[in-house]
Each structure stands twice: as C-alpha cells, then as structure tokens.
Chains A and B, each alone.
Chain A
Amino acid sequence: MNKKYLPLAATIAVFIGLFLIGGGLYRNFLSTMVLGNILADNAFIIIAALGATFVILSGGIDLSIGSMIGFVGVCMAVLDSMGWHPMVSAGLMILFGIAYGAFQGFVIDFCRIQPFIITLAGLFLLRGACFMVTLDSVPIHHDFVDAYAAAKIPLPGRGVLRSSALVMLASLVLAIVIAHFTRFGTNVYAIGGDKESARLMGVPIRRTTIGVYALGGFYSALAGVVYALYTSSGYPLAGSTLELSAIAAVVLGGTLLTGGVGFVVGTLFGGMILGLISTMIIFQGTLNSAWIMISSGGLLFIFIVLHRFLVGSFNLRGNS
C-alpha cells in the first residue's frame, strides 16, 4: 500500500474497531439504526469539517465556523418568522457564507495576516451578530421544514438515512470532486505543501487562498442550514466551540495540520469517530460526560503523534 494512504487506513480501522467494541459491549449498538443516527446527528459537524479540510490542506485554519453556524441559524429562524421560504433564506445565507469566507481569504492574503487572527475576529463578530439578531431560541415553522425532517431512506434493519445525512453525503461527493479532480484542488495541496515553491511554479496564491476560505464559508453556512433544519429552530448560542470539533474531525481523518497532506473522505470518518465516542458513552450511561471530551482528546493526541511518526520515518511529504 502506498504510504500516503496509511493515516486514512488508520482512521478507518479505528472507526471499525470502535464500532465493533461498542457492539461487543452494548445491546443494540451494532445496528444500522446507530449508524444512521451517527451520520445524521453529526452531519453538520462533518459538513463544516469538509470546509475546514480544504482550509487546513492549504495550511490555514478557520475559527469562525461555529459562529457562522449559529448566525445562519438565527437569521433563517428570524427570516422564517417574517414569512420567507426556508429554501430562499438558506440560499441567501449560503451566499453570505461564501462572501464572508472570500473576504476573510482576501484579508489573509492581501494583508499577510495569520489566518488564526482573522478568523478569530470572525468568531467574535458573527457570534456577536447572533445576539443582535435574537436572544431567544426562535422556532422555524414551515411545511417544508416538517417535510425535510420527516424525509428518510430506510436502511436494512431498523436504521434510516435522514435528510441531513443525505445532504452531508452529497457535500462529501462535491468535496471529493473539488479536492481530487480539479485544478483548484491541486493548487490547494500545492500551497499547503510548500507555498514558495507553489508560487514559483505559477500557482495563483491569492485566487486560491480566497477560494479556499470562500469554500470554507460555503460549507460552514451549509452546516448552519443543516443545523437549523435539524433542530427546526435558531438559537444564538448554537454551534459554539463547534469549530474545534470540526478541526478535530479533520485531524482524526488523517489530514496534517501543517497542510498539504490528507484526504477529504478521511474527514467523514474523523467526524463519525467523534460521534461514535459520544454514542458509546451515552450507551454506557453511567460515565461522566467529561469522558467524551477526554477520550476524544486522547485519541486526537495519539493521532497527532502517529502522524508525526509517519511523517518522520516514512517521509510522507517527500523531498521538495
């Protein structure tokens, strides 16, 4: 097997291993119902993480994800109470997400500022904006939302694929196409691997950076739409600290935080591993919920060390 597939293989092995362990420990765990739940309940995290994958592949970071999800949610809820169709407000918010992401990308490249700082400003700005829109949780009442929530494809067994899982899988396919079958995708890997070499080889740095953050904004806003439809409400505190879960999903999925190395599909498994850990601890039922964070943190630590080890001893990134 090619060495660059090792982190991805490790991620998938951990996912399958955890699922089997859960099945051995708890009644009703090894079922399509649990699998369907994990896909649907983590759909918005995975969608946001898909965007974060591109940002991290390019060597950057986006901390504004969680606030964007909250902001999209409250805007959709308030627009709903003003009589807008959810699809129209969703479209508007996704355009906003793309524009805001592009703006962040532009500032990062034009002013040569650390992505960490600019997107941290985005985190505060958008969360503050949530509180300006509303302080309460606002319900979204619309026939479309009911139909969306009720739509499902039955899986063998008792499980179902809910709409949010379907949107997530479609987003995943789109992300795989962009990352692995377009020139833009190749450019993202190039600037993440070595920005200077990429520049010398004629990769359009500014256009790619703006594109990466616009894509990040698109996926965060889409995650916000999925979250709002999933809870059929907007809540100004929704999605807080979710950017960190998204980054964790990306790293668990085998993408290197330094950029340039990783696979989009790994992020799907990274997000599902996080969901699997929570589900196992809920099934256990007597463990303090702190164990969800402790085991996620522990696993993250092991993965980062593993990546370092792979990079060091297998020279994963190659010589440039």
Chain B
Amino acid sequence: MLKNALAGAAFAVSALVCSTAFAQTIGFSQVGSEGDWRPAFSANMQESAKDYGIDLKFANAQGKQEEQLRAVRAFIAQGVDAIIIAPVVVTGWDQVLQEAKEAEIPIFLVDRDVEVKDPSLYVTRISADFNLEGKLAGAWLAAESKGTCKIVELQGTTGSAPAIERKKGFEAVIGQFPAMEIVATQSGDFTTEGGKKVMEAFIKSTNNLDGICASFAHNDNMQLGAIQAMKEAGLKPGKDVLMVSVDYVPAIVEALKAGEANASVELRSAVGKFIYPVILDYLKSPQELPKWIVIPSDLHTAN
C-alpha cells in the first residue's frame, strides 16, 4: 500500500513536472449531479485532474443518455487522448464505443458498468465494489457482536445495483456465523424519510426492537432516518442497537461523534487519485488490464 502510495506520489510529481510536455486531454462524461455523493465525485475528478496535469473536458449529462452519447461523440470528434464514462444506463453503448475504438481512443468506465457484446470496447472499469462494502459492514458487525446478532436491514431501492450487491456481500459474511441472522428487511429507497418509516414499522413489529442487536442500512441517509425513528420511540441508537451503514456522508460523521451510529463504510468520492494513474499509465504503454480495478473501501467507526 505504502509502496503504491509512494509510486503514485512520484508519478504525480513527474506528471506535474512534465505536464507542459505531455499534457493529456481526457474527456469525462458524468451521469449528472444527483444526491450528495456524485457532485463531490465530479469536483474531485476536476480538482485532481490539475494535480496530474490533465486537461479534463467535463460534460454533465444531467441524467440523460442522449446527452452522454452526444458528449462521447464530441470527445471523439475533438480527438481527446482518452474518454472516461460514468454511464447513465448499462445498455446502448456498443455503437458509440465502436466509434471510439475506430478512432483509437481508449474508454475507461467509472462507477457503473455497461453491457456490451465485445468487452474489448473498453479498457477497464475503475470503481468501488458494492459487494465488498456489504462484506466489510458484515465483518465489522460479526467482530463487534462476537458472532451473535439479530439484525434488521434497511434495503436500498429495490433492484438497484448497490442494494443488490451490498445485501449479497453482507449476507455472505454473516452466513458464516450460525447465530447471526436478518430477522426483518424492507426497502427504504435510499432516503431519510424511507429509512424512518421502515424503522418505525420494525419498532412496532418487534416490540420496541426487543432482542434486536443491530441495524444495517444500505446507505447513511436511511440510517439517519432510522436513528430519528428510534429516538422518537425512546430508544438509544448506537447503544441499545448497533448501527452500521454505507457511504460515510457528513451527517453520519456527526452521528458517529454523538455515539448514535457505530460504523459507516466509506464510498469514496475522492477517487481521482485511483483513476488517473491507471489511465496515464495505459496511455504511456497500452497493455491488457483486468476488466475491473476495484477502489478499496474504508471503514469508519465511532472511536
């Protein structure tokens, strides 16, 4: 890790030194600016591009695939050195990626995946692993509860990739412990209001969370809603019940400090330092890369 960091730093310095000579132009087509996480992600990509001496062309698709296709084609026409796409949807990419390939412009995916017939149309996907985030939350809970815990789960939007993968990862870990089980699970749609409603229902159905040792939420916003609901019912979140969730947004940092939440897995928004070195290395010496480069997750606890 340290070695990587040093190499990264050395690279950053050399990139800075040579930036005038080798300034690379990279186009980045972002989904939009929904939620708390994505604007932070966009800002970090724009900020850290400067550190690597990259001329970043940033295009916000405002959640529309047609805007994204337009942006990618404009990048191709402009003759950029590489294109980064955070896809709005997984489908409909074959043709435009083929055009990029014909123009010999490498494509890198960040965040979500795409479904293409020919995987050689993009170099690699550099993103966090939702499954790993679920596993990390499960592992923390297993250690904290010493392998004995009845859990209530607040799921994300039904059918969304983070909800599916975080659940799978979490269940894979707690499945190793016979005395750990999810006793109630429901979707809170990734929102604070949704989380509050679901937790209110859990409080009623489990007689004030009697015997429940933990609440696992697929994101912090729902957990914050759950904390509210528990406080209104006279319960002590973080003490009566262990609270673990994913994202590490500023509001959960406050809750961790106040002891109302116990742990949050960080979905990093400062990912430029993971993404740009991969692209710059590839541009220097093109080579086959694994189809998915995972950005490591971090875990934050109250103490």
Chain A positions within 8 Å of B, measured between CB atoms, are 26-29, 31, 33-34, 37, 40-41, 44, 135-139, 146, 149-150, 227, 230-233, 235, 237-238, 240, 275, 278-279, 281-286, 288-289
Contacts and interface: CB of A to CB of B under 8 A. Distances in A.
Contacts of B8: none
Given A28-B77, A33-B77, A227-B66, A282 B57 contact: yes
Nearest to A31: B77
B73 A231 contact: no
Contacts of A33: 76-77
Contacts of B94: 146, 149, 232
Interface residues of B, number: 32
Contact of B65 (A146, A231, A275, A279): A231
B74 A231 contact: no
Contact of A41 (B62, B73, B90): B73
Given A237-B63, A283-B74, 7 more contacts: A137-B92, A138-B91, A233-B91, A279-B70, A285-B57, A286-B57, A288-B60
Nearest to A162: B95
Contacts of B62: 289
Contacts of A275: 70
A233 B95 CA distance: 12
B138 interface: no
B109 to A, nearest CB: 16
B288 to A, nearest CB: 26
Given A232-B91, A285-B57, A37 B67 contact: no
B89 interface: yes
B156 to A, nearest CB: 14
B69 A231 contact: yes
A285 B55 CA distance: 9
Given A135-B159, A137-B91, A275-B70, A27 B78 contact: yes
**B interface secondary structure, majority:** mixed
B75 interface: yes
Contact of A232 (B27, B71, B95): B95
A240 B88 CA distance: 14
B222 interface: no
Contacts of B58: 285-286
B79 A279 contact: no
B115 interface: yes
Contacts of A279: 70, 74
Contacts of B77: 28-29, 31, 33-34, 37
A285 B27 contact: yes
B2 to A, nearest CB: 35
Contacts of A289: 59-62
- Sorted from nearest, which 6 A-B pairs have the closest CB atoms? A285-B57, A231-B92, A233-B91, A289-B60, A137-B89, A139-B91
Nearest to A33: B77
A86 to B, nearest CB: 14
A204 to B, nearest CB: 38
A37 B92 contact: no
B256 to A, nearest CB: 33
Interface centre among B61, B71, B159 (most CB of A within 10 A): B71
14 contacts: A135-B159, A137-B89, A139-B92, A149-B94, A232-B92, A232-B94, A233-B89, A240-B64, A281-B59, A282-B59, A282-B74, A283-B57, A283-B78, A285-B27
Given A28-B78, A289-B59, A289-B60, A41 B91 contact: no
Interface string B20-54: 00000001000000000000000000000000000
Nearest to A280: B74
Contacts of A285: 27, 55-59
A187 to B, nearest CB: 34
B59 A235 contact: no
A37 B77 CA distance: 8
Contacts of A278: 67, 70, 74
A166 to B, nearest CB: 15
A29 B64 CA distance: 23
A282 B91 contact: no
Interface in B77-130: 77-79, 89-92, 94-95, 115
